[in-house]
């Protein structure tokens, strides 16, 4: 799967510190060569007939913004084609690398992994308390990505992932900072 002749699309936040993501509506990525250079090109790629797989050996993923919610497609998950035609925006998380599957079996496996990522988010949203849903999704992301990467993701992204208002995410994040500050003092 990592052969050089395999077509790769890589949209990277090479240095999270130098390129903070502030909103999914205004996102431009660093690219090289034939890779997508902005959000509209990336969306066109996702809405094409092609299926891509989020590189399974990297800590990376995509937050995909749909009309009324967001989904996270993590390592090994399929993205693109008919599955994401309704995608309205994207945020790459980590050093994103998309690969083309080599076979129908790899494609099917990637769809199953995408479904697992959706199920994980669904489990979080089953919690009745909005603040707890936010804390759970933040914990999930911080257990997988570094805290600086998670801190740069917009409140709106987490809100749409777990079905809460962006103000709820902001409040939970602010409370976490205050609690951390007290714990250190």
Domain for residue 1, yes or no? no
The reported pTM is 0.77
- Each residue of 122-178: pLDDT tens digit? 999 999 999 999 999 999 999 999 999 999 999 999 999 999 999 999 999 999 876
Q: Which two tokens stand for residue 64?
A: 């995909």
Domain for residue 13, yes or no? yes
The domain of 92 spans 8-180
**Number of separate domains in the chain:** 1
Residue with tokens 């090109």: 41
Using DSSP, how many helices (H) and how many strands (E) does the chain show? Answer: 6, 7
Domain for residue 75, yes or no? yes
Q: Which two tokens stand for residue 15?
A: 């240095």
C-alpha angle 168/170/175, rounded to 5°? Answer: 95
Domain for residue 185, yes or no? no
User: In this structure, are strands 8-9 and 51-54 parallel, antiparallel, or unpaired?
Assistant: unpaired
What is the Cα–Cα distance from 127 to 140, expressed in whole angstroms? Answer: 14
Domain for residue 55, yes or no? yes
Domain for residue 47, yes or no? yes
pLDDT at 19: 30
- Each residue of 57-86: pLDDT tens digit? 999 999 999 999 999 999 999 999 988 999
Give yes or no for residue 18 having a pLDDT over 70. no
């Amino acid at each position: 799967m990592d052969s050089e002749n395999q077509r790769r699309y890589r949209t990277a936040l090479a240095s999270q510190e130098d390129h903070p993501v502030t909103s999914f509506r205004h996102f431009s990525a660093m690219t090289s060569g034939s890779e997508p250079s902005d959000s509209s090109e990336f969306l066109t790629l996702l809405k094409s007939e092609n299926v891509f797989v989020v590189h399974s050996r990297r800590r990376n993923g995509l937050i995909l913004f749909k009309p009324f919610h967001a989904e996270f497609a993590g390592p090994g998950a399929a993205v693109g084609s008919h599955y994401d035609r309704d995608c309205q925006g994207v945020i790459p998380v980590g050093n994103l690398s998309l690969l083309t599957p080599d076979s129908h079996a790899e494609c099917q496996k990637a769809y199953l992994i995408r479904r697992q990522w959706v199920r994980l988010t669904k489990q979080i949203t089953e919690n009745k308390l909005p603040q707890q849903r936010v804390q759970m999704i933040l914990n999930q992301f911080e257990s997988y990505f570094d805290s600086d990467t998670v801190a740069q993701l917009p409140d709106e992204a987490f809100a749409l992932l777990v079905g809460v208002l962006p103000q709820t995410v902001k409040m939970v994040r602010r409370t976490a900072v205050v609690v951390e500050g007290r714990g250190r003092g």
